Amino acid sequence: MTGARLRLLACVVALAGFLSACTPTAGLPEVATAPASPAAQPGTVSAGPVAAPDGSVTPAPVLTTAAPPAAAPLPAPAPSPQPFALNLYREGDFVPQYTFDWCVAASIQMAHNLLDSTGGGTWADRAQQSNLWEMARARSSDSFNGANPFGWAQVLTESGMGPYRVASIPDYGEALRTASRAIAETGRPVGLVMWSGRHAWVMSGFESLGDPRQFADFSVTGIHVLDPLYPYGSQQWGPSPAPNALLTPEQLATQFVIREPRRWSSGLPAGYLMVLPVAA
C-alpha cells in the first residue's frame, strides 16, 4: 500500500509541473528591439518605428519638409559710359566761302557734302554758292539784308537735307549735348552760329564719354568743326581751325558764345544758337 501511494504522489507532482509549464505569462508580448535609425537627413523628420500587435515592426514614415527658396540672382550692374566718337567728315567735304558774306551758303554746301555718300555729287561751285546765298537771304526776314539762321534752316530743308530747326540753348554744356545728340540720332550735321551771330560753322562730329543714344548724362569731350572762312579767321575772335579740326569744349567756347535776342530772333531766349537737324 505504501508503494502504491508513493507512485500516485509522484504522478500528481509531475502533472502539476506539466500544467505550470503550459500556463502563459501575464503582460504584453515581448517586442524585438529595432536597430537604431540612421541620422535624420537635412529637411526630413522621422516619426520613429511602430510596433504591431503581433510583434512585427513597421518602419517609421519619413516626412519631407520643403527646401528654402533659392536666393534671387543679383541684377547685372548698369553699364558705365565708354569713350564714343562719331564724325561725318570725309576728305573733300570742306568748301571755302568765296566772299566774306557767303558763310551760310558755304555751310549749306558742306552739309550736303557730309551727307552725300556717292562721292560724285560734291557741292563746291562758286555760282551755286551765290545762288544758295540768295535763297537764304530771301528766307531771312529782318536780317539787315543778310542771311539769318532761319533762312539757313529753311534752305537746308528745301534742299532735301532737312528737316532743320533753329534752337537757342542757354547752358553751354547742354548746347553741346543737344548738338551731339542730334548728330547721333539723325546722322546729319549741325550748324553753329558763331561770333555772337556774325558767322556760320558746321559741326560734323564729336567725341564724348558715353553714347548719346544710351546715356542721358553723357559728356562731350571734343567737337569736329568746319569753318568756311579758313584759313583767314578773325582778329577779334581768333584763327579759323583747319577743316575737320577736333576742338575741346574750352577751345570752341572762345568763338561759340551766347547770342542775345535781336529783331529777327526776338522769339528766342538768349543762348547758344544752332541750326539743328530733327527726325523726319
Per-residue pLDDT of the chain (280 residues; tens, 9 = 90+): 445 454 544 444 444 443 344 344 444 344 444 444 444 454 544 455 555 556 555 565 555 566 677 777 777 787 899 999 999 999 999 999 999 999 999 999 999 999 997 766 799 999 999 999 999 999 998 767 789 999 999 999 999 998 999 999 999 999 999 999 999 999 999 999 999 999 999 999 999 999 999 999 999 999 999 999 999 999 999 999 999 999 999 999 999 999 998 878 888 999 999 999 999 8
Per DSSP, the residues of the chain read -HHHHHHHHHHHHHHHHHHHHHSPPSSPPP-PPPPPPPPPPTTEEE---EE-TTS-EEPPPEEEPPPPPPPPPPPPPPPPP-EEEEE---TT-----SSTTTHHHHHHHHHHHHH--SSS-----HHHHHHHHHHHHHT-TTSTTS--HHHHHHHHIIIII--EEEEEESSHHHHHHHHHHHHHHHS--EEEEETTTTEEEEEEEEEEES-TTT-TT-EEEEEEEE-TTTT--BTTTBPPPPTTEEE-HHHHTTTS--B---STTTTS-SBEEEEEE---
C-alpha cell at 121: 555729287
Q: What's the pLDDT score for residue 10?
A: 45
Q: What's the pLDDT score for residue 52?
A: 53
A 10 A CB-CB count for 140 gives 22
- What distance in Å separates the CA atoms of residue 200 and residue 192, rounded to the nearest whole number? 6
Q: pTM value?
A: 0.73
Domain regions of the chain by residue span: 91-277
Q: What's the pLDDT score for residue 37?
A: 47
Q: What's the pLDDT score for residue 58?
A: 59
Q: CATH for 91-277?
A: 3.90.70
Q: What's the pLDDT score for residue 74?
A: 77
